[in-house]
Amino acid sequence: MSDNTVIDERINSKYEAGFITDVEMQTFDPGLNENVIRKISAKKNEPEFMLEWRLDAYRQWLEMERPAWAQVNYPEIDFDAIAYYSSPKSQEDAPKSLAEVDPELLRTYEKLGIPLHEQEALAGVAVDIVFDSVSIITTFKEKLAESGVIFCSLSEAVIEHPELIKKYLGSVVPVNDNFYAALNCAVFSDGSFVYIPKGVKCPMELSTYFRINEMNTGQFERTLIIADEGSYVSYLEGCTAPSRDENQLHGAVVELVALKGAQIKYSTVQNWYPGDENGKGGIYNFVTKRGICHDDAKVSWTQVETGSAITWKYPSVVLLGDNSVGEFYSVALTRNAQQADTGTKMIHLGRNTRSTIISKGISAGKGSNSYRGLVNISPRAEGARNFTQCDSLLIGDKCSANTFPYIVSKNPSAIVEHEATTSKVSDDQLFLCQQRGIDPEKAVSMIVNGFCKSVFKELPMEFAMEAGKLLEVSLEGSVG
């Protein structure tokens, strides 16, 4: 293969996950009212308490206003033009094993490079697959059950483990937390549920792969992870969607509960369809993610955000317990007309709580990239510490980067550090690479990868490589 073929191929395959899967779908008509919510709940055979919870959320949502403070611009969303439930017909009878799953669906994940057959899977990674509004299959369930770990779709957990759902669902992100979270509570379709028992170190990495496929649908997934006292789990999520000219809404809620001494490591590689070079199409990614730490617990968020037309998300940690630890490592890349307003909130309530924030924003093309973060030290949080580092990297001269750090400290013993830098991929750096025989595109991707290194090293191995490759593809054509 000559050099040129390689380049051509790569230019033509800008968003590799942009294909559409052709399976027969059952999709609700667009529109949102109590009836639609009842239908969603009925589809999932939910117990009465769940339906009531949804309806309550819906009524609160009707009274709420769309948040307007973020540094993003988009036209008013018509919530009645969205279909709130879509599922492949073949999922009607809830397949129990891979053999029963529609082969066309399996091929979708093969194309995306997600291993589903347990014997072929990456050693030590269990996967839950969410396709539009439903979970298709969860691998390694039996093996995990041996150590008492519950890993299943949220719909299944609502039926099988109602006591855990009643206790924890909405306990970290309250129903009325914000506009999009309330909407999610009303119409959430599927997502993953994880419970790690006391003292158990989860024997495998757990992961969920979210795929939006159907047109004009919104995906409102919801994930709940409970790590009981002294347990540990590492969880990964990945996301892709077809390339379409219409914008699609993705409004997820993720709640993490780390009980005394537990540790949760949550990693995201977000690669939703970003829209074309003129800003047409792409996913609106409006997501609420929050973890709560009890005494001596730790929640660590790592995110690599390269996709979506708009990203609005602030994975946060409530440091409720004494000596608890919150971490946030983020790489957000915007190019073309992508907009990202992302960051974190570290709420220090307990004594000697510590938090670390490392944020790397990369803007190319006409991309707009904002870091927005809150470090809040309550009067009780004796000895709290925070370290924040926000670095922005600009490629070209039409992009922008903003940093909005908010610091509220109500305890005089707290130590809060904030460092920020903005740099450009300089002509001198590019020329040094070229003079050593490296072409400019490869050079930019190498420089950007170097810039992100301190975040990438927080990702599990396979994901770190994936993230590096993703950046390379996303940056194509951003030089010159």
Of 145 and 432, nearer to other proteins (C-beta) is: 432
Give every CB contact of residue 441 below 8 A, 6+ residues apart in sequence: 475, 476, 477, 479
Q: Which of 174, 214, 434 is nearest to 318 (CA)?
A: 174
CA distance 256 to 471: 28
Torsion, Cα of 407, 412, 414, 415 (10° steps): 80
State in angstroms the smallest separation of the CB of 400 from other proteins.
22
- Residues within the interface to other proteins (CB under 8 A): 3, 426-429, 431-440, 442, 446-447, 449-454
State in angstroms the smallest separation of the CB of 457 from other proteins.
10
Backbone angles phi, psi at 270, to 5 degrees: -100, 115
Backbone angles phi, psi at 478, to 5 degrees: -90, 0
Q: Are strands 316-319 and 282-293 parallel, antiparallel or unpaired?
A: parallel
CA distance 165 to 97: 25
Of 233 and 452, nearer to other proteins (C-beta) is: 452
State in angstroms the smallest separation of the CB of 3 from other proteins.
8
State in angstroms the smallest separation of the CB of 439 from other proteins.
5
State in angstroms the smallest separation of the CB of 423 from other proteins.
9
Of 249 and 452, nearer to other proteins (C-beta) is: 452
**CA dihedral sign, ordered 15, 135, 187, 269:** negative
Of 3 and 93, nearer to other proteins (C-beta) is: 3
State in angstroms the smallest separation of the CB of 430 from other proteins.
9
Give every CB contact of residue 349 below 8 A, 6+ residues apart in sequence: 318, 319, 320, 378, 380, 381
Of 264 and 447, nearer to other proteins (C-beta) is: 447
Of 410 and 453, nearer to other proteins (C-beta) is: 453
Please answer whether residues 241 and 212 qualify as being in contact, where contact means their C-beta atoms are separated by less than 8 angstroms: yes
